[in-house]
A and B are shown apart, each in its own frame.
Chain A
Amino acid sequence: MGAGPRPERATVSAEEHEQLRRDLDALRDQFEAADEVLTALGRSAADPEAVLTTVVESARRLCRSDAAYLCLLEYGVYELIKSTGLTDESITYIADHPMPVDRDTLIGRVGLDRQTQQIADVLSDPEYGRYDLQRVAGYRTTMGAPMLVDDDVVGALVLWRNEVRPFDEREMAIVTAFAGQAAMAVNGVTLVQELESRSAELAKNVERLEALREVGEAVSSSLDVDHVLSTIAMHAVALSGTDGGSIMEYSARDRCFMVRSVHRTDPAVVQRLRSIRIDLDETLVGRAAQGRRPIAVSDLDRVHLDPHLKILHDDGWRSLAAVPMLREDQIVGCLIVRRKRKGGFTEETLDLLETFASQSALALLNARLFRELEEQSVELELASTHKSEFLASMSHELRTPLNAVLGFSEVLLERMFGDINERQEEYLRDIHGSGQHLLELLNEILDLSKVEAGRMELEYSSFDLRSLLELATSMLRERAALHGIDLRIETAEMGTVYSDELRLKQVLLNLVTNAVKFTGDGGSVVVGAQRDGPEVLISVTDTGIGVPEADRERIFESFQQGGRGSSREEGTGLGLTLSRRIVELLGGRMWLESEVGRGSTFGFSLPAGDREGTGRPADGSPAACGEVVVIEDDRPSLDLFSAYLSKAALKVTTARDGPSGLAAVRRTLPDAVLLDIRLPGIDGWAVLKELKAEPATRDIPVIVVSIVDERARGVAMGAAAYLVKPIGREDLLTALSAVGAPVPLPGSGHEHREGP
């Protein structure tokens, strides 16, 4: 009762009475409202919507306002969530033009000052800055109170009147109380929402990890940078809850950005973005890159529009985040995600976007490196082609004059046109020797350049190793004898090896020539060979002056002859280099053991590479029953024919050219001859003619094998059969059988002929 009129006063004036009645009404209203709010709060603990509706409506009614609304503070701007008395136009306008926490608006000041306040007349307030909103809504006096949770401003409750009529203290108290109630309701909602969102958060984290894994996979597995970038853009947009995005590449040379990939963006907009210059110094994207930090814009209406932002804004984009793509602090590009509506970005989202940005940077750098490598390898290949072409042409150009030097000196040495005296002969030998030397040098340079360029083609075949050693040493025998050097081979029967015969001969000749050259008169040079598991070891040992330790590696380098004393003849200085490279190409290695004053051993290994069925019959093959001479210069064909024939238990003698083929036939009188037409020197036709002209060989059947079909000519010249390459095993055996050679018929179930 203490609030009532005093009892001892007998009378009250009518005015006083009226005032008291009004106060009482107001108090009753206030209590009723408070009760209403409390009831609503109690009833709707699980329905904060209803609480907020009650708060807004009661506040408007109790404070006799034209409108009331409630905003929550999200990412630094107030978002309208509940209102009463506002026109639809005003609601839309506020939603599109949110209010930040600044002194332009009442609600901004409420948030800054954290206390209830009013503006008596916005039109006469010098600090007021939102006349745009005022024009739409039409208010004059406005009051608001902050919503505080744990001392944080979470929102505000605002009232307004469309006339200038300031609120009194009682009304300010009501709004303050109601704002407190609203804050509690919102806080309750937040707590529930936090609980609810925790499981959603977990699901979201899984989703993010999944997306990151997918992006990481794309970056590491695909060299298609456009595919990688569009994957990244897609996931970045999806996980940041935005509506579209783009990835830009930075050009340090031009100091600007170029759009590389977009997601959910109108192609016309992309085209416009590509037509402008997105400058490092003049755009928001550039600022983010230079600051090495993401920049988020929650409202594009409220910032300066650079050319890039202008295009986006014109297309209806309202908020965005620009995240620099960095690699070791260098700008690689920029990742941009954007929304069609306004709104901020949480730290968490920006962190996630930075991860995507760094993946994008990696993808772009990978692609750049790959592109550079590709360009370089094209250049290198071109340079290498030029080099090979140059060497081939130089070789031809140098051979032409050498031909004359060697030829004319030879003509004179042959005394074709008269005698010469001793001194003239000596000089002519010098000229001829120097010419030969030049020719060797030329050949070795050409070979070495082929090896270096990876263009040395090897021709593998099976051949008898001992025969090759004998051939190589025989070529040096005369020279060794001249100096009383004992040149010999010390090896057991080695059987066949599978390698490049000509290249191996080149290596052997080089080593034996060196050994003879550096061995004193009366010394010895021994060529040895032995099998060592899957390898063959070949050595050339001399009793020469030896190679000092310091020179043992150097002499394998180009144009180094080592300190081996004065040589009787200059070498090319390339022989050992080339030999070692050839041995390595053939799958072996070369080494040197030496003792100064006692001699040197140059050794090398080779994979023996015996292949079943090639060359000499392997152990266990039946004894040969017939004999065939194969005259063929193409080694792969020779190899193949030998293999077919050996398997069919035929003894095979091979020859690589016409004259040696003729000799082989005359010597062995075989059961049949396989004859290639295209031979060096005299060709197959000439061989055939010779064979048919001689009584001893006239009746031996000759099977012509050729890549050209000149059957009629072959038959006319007396060939027993004519086969056109390529020739299969059955063709060959059928033909041999048809001409009477002792071979099993193919397809008879076993290949080896039974005894006659």
Chain B
Amino acid sequence: MSEGRILVVEDNPKNLKLVRDVLTYAGYEVIEATSGEDGVRLAAETVPDLILMDLQLPGIDGAEALRQIRATERQVPVVAVTAFAMNNDRARAFDAGFDGYVEKPISVRALPQQVSDFLKLGGIP
């Protein structure tokens, strides 16, 4: 029995594999997308419980992908994954309407708990 279905949108294959393996190990079902366009499509097709979205993506970026996902799916929590090179990245993530953020490099130990916290956001009326 899966803890939940997580859609991970990340263009770097090694980082995608890392997140996938860690979350799979923690008992989640992981759907992988390597571009914003794939992310939007898979968000509609697979109805995930949570989406982890890299902000810098080839093609449409994370903010645009979020906008397109929100056009049809209002409830699913979408969390930004950012490198936070600059101070204003976090503000930008919130301005774009993300429900939260996870800072890169991700902590393998902390990630399952963070995902669990975010999942509680779902199901809010």
A interface with B by C-beta (< 8 Å): 392-393, 395-396, 399-404, 406-408, 410-411, 414, 416-417, 439, 446, 457, 658, 678-683, 685-686, 689, 713, 716-717
Contacts and interface: CB of A to CB of B under 8 A. Distances in A.
A417 B83 contact: no
B2 interface: no
A681 B100 CA distance: 6
A392 B83 CA distance: 10
Contacts of A416: 21-22, 25
Contacts of A392: 85-86
Interface string B104-125: 1111110000100110110011
B15 interface: yes
B96 to A, nearest CB: 12
Given A395-B83, A414-B109, A404 B99 contact: no
Contacts of B25: 411, 416-417
Contacts of A686: 117, 120-121
Contact of B15 (A403, A679, A717): A403
- With most chain B CB atoms within 10 A of its CB, the pick from A392, A400, A402, A713 is A400
Nearest to B14: A404
Contacts of B118: 682
B12 interface: yes
A159 B37 CA distance: 109
A717 B12 CA distance: 38
Secondary structure class of chain A's binding surface, majority of residues? helix
Given A404-B15, A407-B15, A686-B120, A414 B108 contact: yes
A475 to B, nearest CB: 16
Interface of B, helix, strand, loop or mixed by DSSP: loop
Interface string B81-104: 001011100100010000111001
A232 to B, nearest CB: 50
Interface string B1-45: 000000000001011001101100100000000000000000000
B105 A681 contact: no
A396 B61 CA distance: 15
B68 interface: no
B105 A439 contact: yes
A446 B108 contact: no
A388 to B, nearest CB: 9
A414 B22 CA distance: 10
A411 B18 contact: yes
Contacts of A681: 100, 114, 117
A407 B107 CA distance: 7
Interface of B: 12, 14-15, 18-19, 21-22, 25, 56, 83, 85-87, 90, 94, 99-101, 104-109, 114, 117-118, 120-121, 124-125
B18 A404 contact: yes
B112 to A, nearest CB: 10
30 contacts: A395-B83, A395-B85, A399-B104, A399-B105, A400-B15, A401-B12, A403-B12, A403-B105, A403-B106, A407-B18, A407-B106, A407-B108, A410-B107, A410-B108, A410-B109, A411-B21, A411-B108, A439-B105, A658-B117, A680-B90, A680-B100, A681-B114, A682-B100, A683-B100, A683-B121, A686-B117, A686-B121, A713-B124, A717-B124, A717-B125
A446 B83 CA distance: 13
Contact of A682 (B18, B83, B108, B117): B117
Contact of A402 (B90, B99, B101, B105): B105
Contacts of B125: 716-717
Given A411-B22, A682-B100, A689 B124 contact: yes
Contacts of B99: 683
Nearest to B24: A416
Contacts of A679: 100
Given A399-B105, A410-B109, A414-B109, A685 B124 contact: yes
Contacts of B94: 678
A457 B14 CA distance: 33
A234 B53 CA distance: 70
A446 B15 CA distance: 23
A407 B105 contact: yes
A367 to B, nearest CB: 39
Given A416-B25, A683-B100, A406 B85 contact: no
Contact of A400 (B83, B100, B121): B83
A416 B20 CA distance: 13
A689 B122 CA distance: 11
Given A404-B18, A407-B19, 5 more contacts: A392-B85, A403-B104, A414-B108, A679-B100, A686-B120
Contact of A396 (B19, B56, B124): B56
Nearest to A402: B105
A457 B87 contact: yes
A171 to B, nearest CB: 105
Contacts of A717: 124-125
Contacts of A457: 87
B68 to A, nearest CB: 20
Contacts of A401: 12, 14
A416 B125 CA distance: 36
A446 B101 CA distance: 21
A685 B121 contact: yes
Contacts of B86: 392
Contacts of A446: 85
Centre residue among B14, B83, B105, B117 by max chain A CB count within 10 A: B105
Contacts of B100: 679-683
A682 B85 contact: no
Contacts of A685: 121, 124
A614 to B, nearest CB: 22
B120 A396 contact: no
A401 B21 CA distance: 17
Contacts of B106: 403, 407
Most buried by B among A404, A407, A410, A679: A407
A439 to B, nearest CB: 7
Contacts of B120: 682, 686, 689
B50 to A, nearest CB: 12
Contacts of B105: 399, 402-403, 406-407, 439
Contacts of B121: 682-683, 685-686
Nearest to A400: B12
Contacts of A396: 56, 83, 85
A163 B107 CA distance: 123
B85 A407 contact: no
A336 to B, nearest CB: 58
Considering the complex of A and B, which 4 residue pairs feature the smallest CB-CB distances, nearest first? A410-B108, A403-B105, A404-B14, A407-B18
B27 to A, nearest CB: 12
